[in-house]
């Protein structure tokens, strides 16, 4: 079966500059490379950021221990999505990609570009929660890694074919527009979700104000203490169940809430046992939080520890008051652990800040060098070629440098990219002025169109596919044609390529369906074998095993990726019955061997293995026959020697063993020969 990705060779052509009327000049090829080479620098600094605010702590009103006062878990100030500015098609940093993949539940590294697009579409359509950013980023990362690998493979093949590196024009990602549209849809959904969250926060704020008013009114109730206290507990639970509120209102809201809770405890003549029980429960809960916070001190990931800490502070605020004699002691314990974690967090980002400052200096030097090259007047092809190589080396160095500070990262990237664009735009203009070369290129491309049109109706799929790939690579090597003929010659060539690959795709879609049905039948046969119960009649059971093997062979091919797995399952199932048959070991081994050869006979590769096995057995058989002749000759030498009888007995045993092995090998060779005759 032909590889399914051969159609992509045509898809890559669809993204060439000639589709929009632009000539695929050597200069443009370098410009495209520049854009692709630089793209990873637009990535974010993964989870980290530069600024991490120091915390401020108070007791009882207890605003969050970080600079944020929202009810949401307080996070380090991470680089937002602007950190990954640049175009949607820019690749993400390799280390960031690996980190995100390590945290994910799905490994997308084996997905094709189409599968990645489908996975992203399913993720967006089926996931109501907005917190899918990591999954979206990992799909995006793997998409551009696939594209980069395709470009590198294409470039390698181009160079091995003798092409000039500076004339190489990489193809664009064939499904990139689909990816961008889905990403835009995702960001719109995310924005809509955020807007909805803000509206819910306003509603929650009003609910909590109403709860405070109800708590205030409890002090004037004349009903029983137990009933009043239960109403108070219900209001507290309702408070905890209510969601987030706007950050700007949080501090005043909490101060007002705690004030009226304290008033309730102070002015309502509540049963002292109930109050003490409530305070004791709160004390135990806060001690538990202190212990869990202290455990975070040994957490290897400072980012993880810091994020968990924010949740603990949310829980601390919700718990409520503790006995006054434990209040300060407990708060100081919690605050001490918090301060250590925050200090580590701040130091971590200070180190990142110093590193990114050095990165900015290194990238600034690269920008200056690139700008110097871009401003040069280059009169001939050799000069353009030399400076192109020099600029590409600068791009390679750029990729080895980490991120600059957030406020500078986009600016320095745009500066470097602008210098590269300026150079390659000028190079394209230089080559576009060579009219004679363009006319010659037009004739060469017309010749390729004739070859493609002659080949497009071929049904020798493998040979024709290889030839189309060769022609397409040759097309990319030729260079620009006159602008007036560019679009027409490109459409002519693409039409021939598309026709062939569409016919091929239609053919193999039918083959794929047949192989899927074969796979289903083979799975059903394996289940039948597993469920078969031996009858204790050796001949009947052996006949059934042979029938299973015959039916297996008759079913036909399965999808290539399932072949080894399904064959192993079949062999294991049938060998399990062979192991339980009451037959001698040699016969059992021959049955297993025949089962193994049956699996081999289903493919050309397996048949090659069978022939290899036969040659190996024939060689071994000749050696054993020589050994047998030598043993028979040795018997005569021992006739007149001391202990002759003992020596002769030993030789006879060896002769018998060798004869048995010879017969076993002959039987294996016979089994292989019978299968080859059947084929």
CA neighbours closer than 13 Å in the CB half-sphere of residue 112: 10
* pLDDT band (50, 70, 90) for residue 638: low
448 or 583, which is more confident? 448
Is residue 6 scored above 60 in pLDDT?
Answer: no
Distance CA 37, CA 23 (A): 21
What mean pLDDT do residues 244-252 have?
89
Q: Which pLDDT score is estimated for 222?
A: 65
pTM (2 decimals)? 0.30
**Lowest mean pLDDT across 142-146, 305-309, 383-387, 411-415:** 383-387
User: Which range has the top average pLDDT, 360-374, 473-487, 567-581?
Assistant: 360-374
* pLDDT band (50, 70, 90) for residue 283: very high
Whether residue 666 contacts residue 621, with contact meaning beta carbons closer than 8 Å, is answered with yes
Distance CA 483, CA 592 (A): 68
> 478 to each of 243, 452, 528, 535, how far by Cα in Å?
64, 16, 59, 72
Q: Which pLDDT score is estimated for 66?
A: 34
In the three-class reduction of DSSP (H, G, I as helix; E, B as strand; rest coil), residue 110 is classed as coil
Q: Which pLDDT score is estimated for 494?
A: 93
Distance CA 463, CA 550 (A): 33
Is residue 77 scored above 70 in pLDDT?
Answer: no
Q: Which pLDDT score is estimated for 677?
A: 63
Percent helix, strand and coil across the chain, each to the nearest 5: 80, 0, 20
Dihedrals phi, psi of 591, to nearest 5 degrees: -65, -45
Q: Which pLDDT score is estimated for 308?
A: 94
556 or 28, which is more confident? 556
Q: Which pLDDT score is estimated for 418?
A: 94
What mean pLDDT do residues 69-82 have?
34
Tokens of 186: 């995702």
Dihedrals phi, psi of 83, to nearest 5 degrees: -60, -30
* pLDDT band (50, 70, 90) for residue 643: low
Dihedrals phi, psi of 43, to nearest 5 degrees: -70, 165
> 250 to each of 56, 146, 316, how far by Cα in Å?
16, 46, 15
What mean pLDDT do residues 43-60 have?
31
* pLDDT band (50, 70, 90) for residue 149: confident
**Lowest mean pLDDT across 43-57, 195-209, 490-504:** 43-57
Please return the burial class of 88, using the count of CB atoms within 10 Å of its CB with bins 0-12, 13-18 and 19+: middle
Q: Which pLDDT score is estimated for 332?
A: 95
What's the mean per-residue pLDDT of the chain? 77
CA neighbours closer than 13 Å in the CB half-sphere of residue 406: 18
**Lowest mean pLDDT across 93-97, 205-209, 350-354, 374-378:** 93-97
Is residue 272 scored above 90 in pLDDT?
Answer: no
**Lowest mean pLDDT across 60-74, 269-283, 288-302, 396-410:** 60-74
Tens digit of each residue's pLDDT (9 = 90 or more) over 449-487: 999 999 989 988 889 999 999 999 999 888 778 878 889
Q: Which pLDDT score is estimated for 675?
A: 73
Beta carbons within 8 Å of 481's beta carbon, 6+ residues apart? 18, 23, 438, 439, 441, 442, 445, 489
What mean pLDDT do residues 536-565 have?
81
Whether residue 217 contacts residue 231, with contact meaning beta carbons closer than 8 Å, is answered with no
Closest CA to 135 of 198, 83, 190, 176: 190
Tens digit of each residue's pLDDT (9 = 90 or more) over 13-33: 333 333 333 333 333 333 333
Domain range annotation of the chain: 532-600, 604-679
Is residue 534 scored above 50 in pLDDT?
Answer: yes
Q: Which pLDDT score is estimated for 469?
A: 93
Whether residue 369 contacts residue 328, with contact meaning beta carbons closer than 8 Å, is answered with no
Q: Which pLDDT score is estimated for 295?
A: 93
Dihedrals phi, psi of 459, to nearest 5 degrees: -110, 5
**Lowest mean pLDDT across 137-141, 219-223, 260-264, 366-370:** 219-223
Beta carbons within 8 Å of 593's beta carbon, 6+ residues apart? 668, 671
Q: Which pLDDT score is estimated for 276?
A: 81
* pLDDT band (50, 70, 90) for residue 202: very high
**Lowest mean pLDDT across 258-272, 348-362, 552-566:** 258-272
Q: Which pLDDT score is estimated for 31?
A: 35
> 240 to each of 12, 217, 316, how far by Cα in Å?
56, 19, 12
Tokens of 407: 């406020």
What mean pLDDT do residues 382-409 have?
88
């Amino acid at each position: 079966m032909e590889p399914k990705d051969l159609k992509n060779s045509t898809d890559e052509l669809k993204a060439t500059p000639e589709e929009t009327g632009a000539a695929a000049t050597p200069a443009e090829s370098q410009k495209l490379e520049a854009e692709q080479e630089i793209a990873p620098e637009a990535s974010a600094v993964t989870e980290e950021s530069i600024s991490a605010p120091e915390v401020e702590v108070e007791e009882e009103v207890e605003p969050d221990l970080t600079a944020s006062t929202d009810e949401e878990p307080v996070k380090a100030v991470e680089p937002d999505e602007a950190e990954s500015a640049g175009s949607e098609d820019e690749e993400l940093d390799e280390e960031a990609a690996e980190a995100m993949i390590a945290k994910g539940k799905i490994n997308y590294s084996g997905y094709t570009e189409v599968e990645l697009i489908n996975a992203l579409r399913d993720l967006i359509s089926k996931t109501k929660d907005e917190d899918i950013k990591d999954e979206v980023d990992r799909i995006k990362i793997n998409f551009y890694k696939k594209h980069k690998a395709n470009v590198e493979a294409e470039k390698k093949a181009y160079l091995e074919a003798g092409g000039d590196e500076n004339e190489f024009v990489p193809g664009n990602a064939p499904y990139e527009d689909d990816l961008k549209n889905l990403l835009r849809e995702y960001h719109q959904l995310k924005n809509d979700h955020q807007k909805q969250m803000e509206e819910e926060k306003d509603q929650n704020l009003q609910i909590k104000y109403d709860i405070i008013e109800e708590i205030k009114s409890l002090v004037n109730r004349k009903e029983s203490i137990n009933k009043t206290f239960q109403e108070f507990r219900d209001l507290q639970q309702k408070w905890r169940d209510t969601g987030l509120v706007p950050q700007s209102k949080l501090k005043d809201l909490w101060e007002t809430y705690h004030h009226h809770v304290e008033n309730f405890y102070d002015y309502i003549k509540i049963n002292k046992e109930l109050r003490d029980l409530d305070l004791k429960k709160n004390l135990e809960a806060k001690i538990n939080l202190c212990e869990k916070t202290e455990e975070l001190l040994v957490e290897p990931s400072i980012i993880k520890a810091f994020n968990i800490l924010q949740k603990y502070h949310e829980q601390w605020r919700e718990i409520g008051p503790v006995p006054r004699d434990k209040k300060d002691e407990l708060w100081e314990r919690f605050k001490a652990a918090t301060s250590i974690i925050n200090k580590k967090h701040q130091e971590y980002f200070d180190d990142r800040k110093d590193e990114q400052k050095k990165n900015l200096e290194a990238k600034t030097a690269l920008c200056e060098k690139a700008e110097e090259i871009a401003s040069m007047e280059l009169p001939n092809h050799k000069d353009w070629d030399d400076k192109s190589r020099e600029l590409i080396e600068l791009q390679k160095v750029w990729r080895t440098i980490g991120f600059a500070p957030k406020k500078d990262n986009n600016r320095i990237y745009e500066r470097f990219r602008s210098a590269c664009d300026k150079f390659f735009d000028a190079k394209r203009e230089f080559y576009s002025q060579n009219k004679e070369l363009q006319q010659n290129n037009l004739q060469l491309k017309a010749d390729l169109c004739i070859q493609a049109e002659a080949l497009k109706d071929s049904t020798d799929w493998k040979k024709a596919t290889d030839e189309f790939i060769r022609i397409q690579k040759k097309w990319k090597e030729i260079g620009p044609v006159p602008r007036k003929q560019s679009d027409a010659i490109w459409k002519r060539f693409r039409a021939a390529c598309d026709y062939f690959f569409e016919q091929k795709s239609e053919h193999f879609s039918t083959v794929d369906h047949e192989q899927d049905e074969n796979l289903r039948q083979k799975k059903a046969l394996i289940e039948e074998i597993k469920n078969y119960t031996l009858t204790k009649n050796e001949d009947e059971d052996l006949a059934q095993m042979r029938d299973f093997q015959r039916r297996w062979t008759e079913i036909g091919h399965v999808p290539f990726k399932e072949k080894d797995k399904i064959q192993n399952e079949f062999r294991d199932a049938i060998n399990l019955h062979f192991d339980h048959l009451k037959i001698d070991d040699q016969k059992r081994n021959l049955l297993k061997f025949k089962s193994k050869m049956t699996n081999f006979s289903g493919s050309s590769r397996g048949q090659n293995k069978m022939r290899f096995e036969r040659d190996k057995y024939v060689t071994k058989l000749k050696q054993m026959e020589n050994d047998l002749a030598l043993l028979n000759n040795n018997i005569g030498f021992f006739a007149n020697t001391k202990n002759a009888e003992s020596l002769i007995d030993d030789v006879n045993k060896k002769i018998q063993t060798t004869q048995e092995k010879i017969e076993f090998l002959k039987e294996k060779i016979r089994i292989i020969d019978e299968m080859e005759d059947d084929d």
